[in-house]
Structure 1
Amino acid sequence: MESFDYDLQSVQETRNLARQAKLAQAELAKFNSEQIDKIVRNMVKAAEENAVSLAKMAVEETGFGKVEDKTFKNRFASTELYEFIKTMPTIGVIREDTVNKVTEIAEPVGLLMGIVPSTNPTSTTIYKSIIAIKARNGIVFSPHPSALKCTNQAAKLMHDAAVAAGAPVNIIGCISKPSMDATNELMKCDEVAMIIATGGSAMVKAAYSAGKPALGVGPGNVPAFIERTANVAKAVKNIIASKTFDNGTICASEQSVIVEECIRDQVVEEFKRQGGYFMTPAETEQVSKKLFVKGHAMNAKMVGRSAEVIANNAGISIPPGTKVLLGEQQGVGEGYPLSYEKLTTVLAFYCVKDWQEACDLSIRLLHNGGVGHSISIHTENPEIARKFSEKPVFRILVNTSSSQGGVGASTGLAPAFTLGCGTWGGSATSDNVTPMHLINIKRIAYGIKDFTENVNNSPSFSCEAQKAGVSGSISEDQIQNLVEEVLSLLKKRGDY
């Protein structure tokens, strides 16, 4: 009975949040660029001031990642994001094509639903709140139950900062009593115009089946290929920096390292020198058993954990200072557990003959969970980078840390914590999601071509064509008549 009451309260709370946010959004839709920028700047300020406290809350509540890295993510999702979007036109006339006489006008999508993962709860909430308001949308969040407190706190901070700068009350909301019934209610309620889903595959699929527009992201199972011309020391440094960043909780983090035979020993020694530990087959099996439950579903207790914590749980001994664990795999799929996504400090390790074999292996890994997302390449040969651009992903990250590169921290990509995987990965977009994905565009289009003359004279053409069609052939006289008609029309239009 108690559970039944909770579910009812949860659904009712969700309905109230959606109704209130929808009313608030109708008011926000009337705001001009200056008003919106003032609101967004205050939200950024609040996120910056609370970056550390929110990071501490997230680590304490979920056990995932590191405070210093979550602090960086909170700042990246606000200050760095703002620098990228501050001049982005999202209100009123956003483009005028004087040649083709088309004017584009931005309109808000309406009320958004934001699904938030437990791996990046506060940064995702900050990011989605800011891009929603920038496009004059309201947003209601559905938090992951294991990150409830920190997600609610981030949403409250964003709401209060927005309201303090002039936004309508209730423009940002967050479910405080999460349940599957509440999430489903929010997905399907009439007030919600679009869903932005960041989370597990099941949740993203549910968002796409809710019967309304959705922007979802698929899993990342990023292969990292170290090609023979690569700067090996730099490549290994980038991979370790990426995989240890927040203990591998970003979906763009590397999952497998692929090296060519000719540089295998050099790569292995470099990993060892920089804090990598190569597990024996027996140790790899022990760690794999701890990493996964029910086949290849990630064990939540091992997500975002340090190499030391994972080793201790698996009962293996590793050298002090170990940063990542590497396990060699001979194949992909069932029987090769490290070939699946691992949002923690563990990497699969593969050795191949050449770059063609690396290409084939990368494709198999991507189709094992991660198609459409990202691939990482370390090479000094531009031709190799171009060859890998043919792979079924939408982010080809060259000579950089994949985690930071994918979200736009170390590359020129848009700063984002929602990374689309395109139709290959079951997503509606292949982009890093920005405010431009959260607007509707209406167009005023003037006539620039006069077709009335063609329309008025079209019966004569159809008449001759009909005559030819009846007889099944066309005579020389009919051909001559058609030619004369065409020439006559051209003369009238001044084209002959």
Structure 2
Amino acid sequence: MSGENSAAASIHPLVAAARQAQARIEHWDQNRIDETVAAVGWHVLQPAASQALAEMAVTESGIGSAQDSRIRLETRVRGTLGDLHGITTIGVIDEDPALRIAKYARPIGVIAVLVPSTAPAAALLVNTLVALKTRNAVIVCPNPSAQTVTRLTVALVRQALERAGAPSDLLQMVESPTRHHATVLAENTDLVIATGGSATVERVRRTGTPTHAAGPGNAVVLVDATADTVSAIAAVVAGKTFDNGTSCSAESCMVLERPIIAAALAALTEEGVHVCSSGEADRLRATLWPDGKTLSRAVVGRPAPEVAALAGISVPDGTRALAAWAAPLPAADPFGGEKLCPVLGLYSAEDFPAAVTAAASLTERVGPGHSCALHTTTPQHIDVLARQAKVSRIMVNQSTGNGNTGSFGNGMPFTSTVSCGTWGKCTLTENVGWRQFLNTIWVSMPVQRPVPRWEDLMAPWTSSPRFHGLPSSSVRMFAQ
């Protein structure tokens, strides 16, 4: 049996069971749905459960920190529950009385969720909670290095569903997945949520099934001359070192305005960051990218001392991260791209306009549309960056690593899917949430709307000097 036929044989029964389960809850009322969502949240947020999931994820994949993984899981699940609490996802979800428009929510059906090797339990749970809130079923296809923790997470959720009187097949898992399984799953479901490598995302997109995906990360941080440098560096290091830098939102490159470089370097040292010498930077670069372009799996999600040892760099006890000066722009340097470990690329800029230009160059090469951060006390700089940056989110005076996907310290919606707009080959420029898990029916009633006056519509043009410069014959022709 071919790989595709074998995959189809295992996928088709899952999809059939998911459709039956989804049909059973499609006409439940809001209270019944909310009870089910809360039941799942209660079960997975029990301390023993979240601890077991975090430890298993790190043990199985060898990536990240169990302590940070648990914090991420509990924060994202609680944050997602908070975002969903009190939200209406059944019947009329929005109305415009003046236009006599009512919008009705309808479930999508069966959603395929591709789970990455980094933060697999958190990604699965966030998407499952949102899917349940919107009366959808989920089939999860895990990364091969996260099968055990995914299986345990699915088992916990299924147990919670049964306790709540809901069909357990609202969540199922693809066993022993291959690329063929991911493709066949995408072909036979109604929506795909893809968080993983770019090759995986492109593969499922080619199936033609609507897909919400996360773009590649490379969060660039700008620290301008007016910033509180100590606070800025503390935020950067906190995001860079969390879970050993495995998040696509983790700070990747930092652009420093020249007047504050000395203070920033001192602050980095205080935060436990080893700033590499030129020779050390060369060894670190060769270790991270042995062929000059492909990131070594050996460094992904590993602590800074281990990464340093692999590169033959001696670092003080308690070192939390490594930083290295990259080759000045416009030269290409892998330090200017995504690293997925506690390594930070450093760049300098003469002034703020130069810093904005540097950030644009870095995100255009790697991570277009994803995110950046600005540390400043100058409000005008926020406006300048927002008008010029081609990113979907800008974190101001906070960490991208701890802020992009939602935080109790900002207003961003909690998510596991950071969409990156057309810059990052995505259809959305926002955090994927409950609204993206629904079909919406617009119900329109008759209403009389005033016909706009031609003179008012044309006023921006007819009042322009360029209009009055037209030959009179052209004006008469258009008037006719």
Give the TM-score normalised by the residue count of structure 2.
Answer: 0.90
Shift of 1:293: 5.2
Report 1:360-399 matches (<5 A): 360-390=357-387, 391-399=389-397
Structure 2 partner of 1:427: 426
CA distance in 2, matches of 1:314, 1:163: 51
Shift of 1:449: 2.5
Amino acid across the alignment from 1:46: H
Deviations 1:364-401 (A, max 9, x none): 11011111110111101111111111200111100011
Structure 2 partner of 1:336: 333
Maintained 8 Å contact 1:414/1:432: yes
CA distance in 2, matches of 1:120, 1:133: 20
- The Cα RMSD (Å) is 2.0
Give SS of 2:202's match.
Answer: helix
Structure 1 partner of 2:475: none
Maintained 8 Å contact 2:286/2:292: no
Deviations 1:87-114 (A, max 9, x none): 2221111123222211211000111000
Structure 2 unaligned blocks of 5 or more: 451-478
CA distance in 1, matches of 2:374, 2:317: 29
Structure 2 partner of 1:173: 172
Shift of 1:333: 7.9
Amino acid across the alignment from 1:160: Q
Structure 1 partner of 2:400: 402
Pick one of 216, 219, 244 that aligns with 1:222.
219
Pick one of 238, 263, 279 that aligns with 1:241.
238
Report 1:57-206 matches (<5 A): 57-189=56-188, 192-206=189-203
Pick one of 284, 287, 292 that aligns with 2:284.
287
Shift of 1:6: 8.0
Closer, same or farther in 2 for the Cα pair 1:135/1:294, shift >3 Å?
farther
CA distance in 2, matches of 1:148, 1:418: 20
Deviations 1:395-447 (A, max 9, x none): 11000111111011132100111111011111111111111111011122111
Higher deviation after alignment, 23-32 or 108-117: 23-32
Higher deviation after alignment, 201-210 or 364-373: 201-210
Maintained 8 Å contact 1:332/1:368: no
CA distance in 1, matches of 2:249, 2:229: 21
Does residue 266 (structure 1) correspond to residue 263 (structure 2)? The answer is yes
Report 1:284-363 matches (<5 A): 284-292=281-289, 294-331=291-328, 336-363=333-360
Deviations 1:271-327 (A, max 9, x none): 112111111222112222222355433222211111101011122111111111001
Give SS of 1:256's match.
Answer: strand
CA distance in 2, matches of 1:119, 1:428: 23
CA distance in 2, matches of 1:293, 1:186: 35
Structure 2 partner of 1:42: 39
Give SS of 2:122's match.
Answer: helix
Give SS of 2:169's match.
Answer: coil
Maintained 8 Å contact 1:296/1:340: no
CA distance in 1, matches of 2:400, 2:114: 23
Maintained 8 Å contact 2:284/2:311: yes
Structure 1 partner of 2:471: none
Quote the sequence identity (%). Answer: 29
Deviations 1:189-227 (A, max 9, x none): 2xx101011011111122222112110111111111111
Maintained 8 Å contact 1:333/1:340: no
Deviations 1:318-370 (A, max 9, x none): 11111110010123587511111011100001111001111111011101111
Maintained 8 Å contact 1:376/1:396: yes
Give SS of 2:153's match.
Answer: helix
Give the TM-score normalised by the residue count of structure 1.
Answer: 0.87
Give SS of 1:140's match.
Answer: strand
Structure 2 partner of 1:436: 435
CA distance in 2, matches of 1:71, 1:343: 18
Maintained 8 Å contact 2:57/2:149: yes
Maintained 8 Å contact 2:244/2:303: yes
CA distance in 2, matches of 1:348, 1:254: 9
CA distance in 2, matches of 1:290, 1:146: 23
Maintained 8 Å contact 1:129/1:139: yes
Shift of 1:118: 0.4
Maintained 8 Å contact 2:3/2:180: no
Maintained 8 Å contact 2:111/2:138: yes
Deviations 1:48-103 (A, max 9, x none): 01111100000100111111111111112222210111122211111232222112
CA distance in 1, matches of 2:144, 2:107: 30
Maintained 8 Å contact 2:419/2:429: yes
Closer, same or farther in 2 for the Cα pair 1:177/1:223, shift >3 Å?
same
Amino acid across the alignment from 1:68: Q
Maintained 8 Å contact 2:7/2:184: no
